[in-house]
């Protein structure tokens, strides 16, 4: 954004701002976005950590809960959302100047709630999504949140005049595909047959397409919308629930995990702090580099090593006392396929009675068992991204989190 606007304070909205990635994006913006004037955190479930922002702030006295009014609602004739909100005032980590943080409890599937939250924002970072590959939610719900929710965000930008939209997509919009073709250290231009059947990747692919297609649409006031999509591979780091689940599973099994996937199958992983940093940089650079970045996709990458899903997890779980048994998978692949199919059948049979959603199902097995890694520098070339955290830092931070989250610190 223009130099003359150096002093201009920008309003950012982060949807899904209380999720695993969203929280890191919010904290990163507060720490590293000098032009941040107001930060709106929109989520269906507001996290208690938002209140820590207030505690950590010397401006902490200004705080309302359930005030029911949004600061800038009438700007585009948008009604205020009938949701609980809280406002608090926080500061940058360097204590330089205040930033207003507004937490908005809302649902992206509700167009009026999204429009009210977007009104007056300069930039929207849309990370909210239903991440479900285990069959916990129905395909319809996944579609509503991921596709209709994204459509609502785009329409809200157009209606209210917000020009910059960064969408959190996923590697899953590319693959692994249903045929199990490997994607070996590919980039954004690598040809690949992207064929999906599972509701989650289908929804992410459709939502990404909507976002990219919206690039260039005229927003209220006549200027063009500028959009881009970031595609993380498997994200890890502080707050990664599946990592914690694997740790607990290992503890239940006496400190052992059993190899199910060959070590030669590479699964792309990226540290959450770097994914968040990439979002902040992309959002910052969208105006200045609109022609270059508008309508583009970027894989998220950093210096995390290429490993199998299980070997990668052991980088963190090993130092927490777990061991991975077997240089090769202990069970033959056909048996895993059978067990995954059995799980799917049980899920279907039990659905009227109870939700049975184990980690192993035909889809997760196929993803874990198909090489999918990226090697690219597109984000560096287009908007100057360099990972903020080295592999060593990312690893240490994640280990400390697993230890703290599970009480395994020695």
For binding to ligand LBAHXFJF (CB under 6 A), which residues are involved? 131, 133, 170-172, 234, 242, 260-261, 267, 309, 359-360, 364-365, 367-368
Which residue among 41, 50, 86, 130 contacts ligand NAI (CB under 6 A)?
Answer: 130
Cβ atoms of 156 and 114 within 8 Å: the answer is: yes
Cβ atoms of 64 and 86 within 8 Å: the answer is: yes
- H helix or E strand, kind and range, residue 394: helix 391-406
The tokens for 68 are: 């029911």
**Binding partner of residue 317 among ligand NAI, ligand LBAHXFJF, none, CB cut-off 5 to 8 Å per kind:** none
Q: How far apart are CA 395 and CA 97, in angstroms?
A: 32
Which single residue is written with the structure tokens 């949140």? 145
**Binding partner of residue 130 among ligand LBAHXFJF, ligand NAI, none, CB cut-off 5 to 8 Å per kind:** ligand NAI
Nearer to ligand NAI, 26 or 219 (CB): 26
- In the bound complex, what is the minimum distance in angstroms from residue 108's beta carbon to ligand NAI? 4
Taking CB under 6 A as the rule, does residue 203 contact ligand NAI?
Answer: no
The tokens for 254 are: 């006496």
Nearer to ligand LBAHXFJF, 54 or 204 (CB): 204
Cβ atoms of 207 and 172 within 8 Å: the answer is: no
Which single residue is written with the structure tokens 């040809």? 191
Which residue among 19, 120, 175, 295 contacts ligand NAI (CB under 6 A)?
Answer: 19
β-pairing verdict for 10-15 and 85-91? unpaired
- In the bound complex, what is the minimum distance in angstroms from residue 134's beta carbon to ligand LBAHXFJF? 8
200 is catalytic: yes
- φ and ψ at 184, to 5 degrees? -100, 110
Q: Catalytic residue among 12, 167, 200, 271, which?
A: 200
The tokens for 203 are: 């929804």
Cα dihedral sign, 187-189-191-193: positive
Counting every residue written for the chain, the total comes to 410
**Binding partner of residue 168 among ligand LBAHXFJF, ligand NAI, none, CB cut-off 5 to 8 Å per kind:** ligand NAI
| Number of residue whose CB is nearest ligand LBAHXFJF | 234
Residues at the site binding ligand NAI, with contacts judged by CB under 6 A: 16, 18-22, 43-45, 107-109, 127-131, 145, 149, 168, 170, 204, 232, 234-235
Active-site amino acid positions: 200
């Amino acid at each position: 954004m223009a130099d003359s606007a150096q002093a201009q304070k920008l309003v950012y909205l982060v949807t899904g701002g209380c999720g695993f990635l969203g929280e890191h994006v919010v904290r990163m913006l507060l720490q590293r976005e000098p032009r941040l004037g107001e930060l709106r955190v929109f989520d269906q479930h507001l996290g208690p950590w938002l209140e820590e922002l207030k505690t950590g702030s010397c401006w902490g006295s200004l705080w309302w809960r359930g005030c029911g009014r949004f600061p800038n609602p009438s700007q585009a004739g948008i009604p205020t959302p009938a949701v609980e909100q809280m406002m608090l005032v926080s500061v940058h980590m360097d204590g330089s100047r205040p930033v207003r943080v507004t937490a908005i409890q809302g649902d992206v599937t509700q167009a009026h709630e999204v429009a009210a939250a977007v009104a007056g924002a300069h930039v929207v970072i849309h990370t909210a999504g239903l991440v479900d590959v285990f069959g916990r939610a129905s395909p319809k719900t996944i579609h509503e949140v991921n596709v209709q929710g994204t459509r609502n965000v785009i329409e809200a930008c157009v209606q209210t005049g917000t020009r910059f939209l960064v969408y959190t997509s996923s590697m899953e919009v590319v693959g692994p595909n249903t045929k199990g073709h490997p994607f070996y250290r590919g980039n954004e231009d690598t040809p690949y047959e992207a064929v999906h059947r599972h509701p989650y990747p289908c929804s992410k692919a459709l939502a990404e397409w909507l976002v990219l297609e919206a690039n260039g649409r005229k927003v209220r006031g006549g200027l063009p919308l500028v959009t881009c999509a970031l595609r993380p591979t498997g994200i890890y780091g502080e707050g990664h629930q599946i990592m914690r689940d694997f740790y607990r599973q290992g503890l239940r099994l006496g400190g052992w995990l059993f190899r199910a996937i060959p070590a030669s199958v590479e699964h792309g992983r990226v540290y959450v702090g770097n994914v968040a940093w990439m979002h902040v940089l992309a959002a910052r650079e969208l105006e200045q580099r609109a022609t270059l970045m508008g309508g583009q996709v970027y894989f998220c990458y950093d210096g995390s090593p290429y490993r199998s899903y299980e070997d990668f997890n052991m980088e963190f779980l090993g130092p927490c006392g777990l061991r991975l048994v077997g240089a090769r998978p202990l069970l033959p692949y056909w048996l895993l396929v059978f067990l995954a199919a059995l799980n799917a059948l049980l899920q279907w049979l039990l659905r009227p009675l109870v939700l049975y959603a184990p980690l192993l199902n035909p889809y997760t097995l196929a993803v874990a068992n198909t090489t999918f890694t990226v090697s690219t520098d597109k984000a560096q070339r287009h908007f100057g991204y360099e990972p903020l955290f080295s592999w060593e830092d990312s690893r240490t931070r994640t280990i400390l989190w697993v230890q703290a989250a599970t009480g395994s610190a020695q």
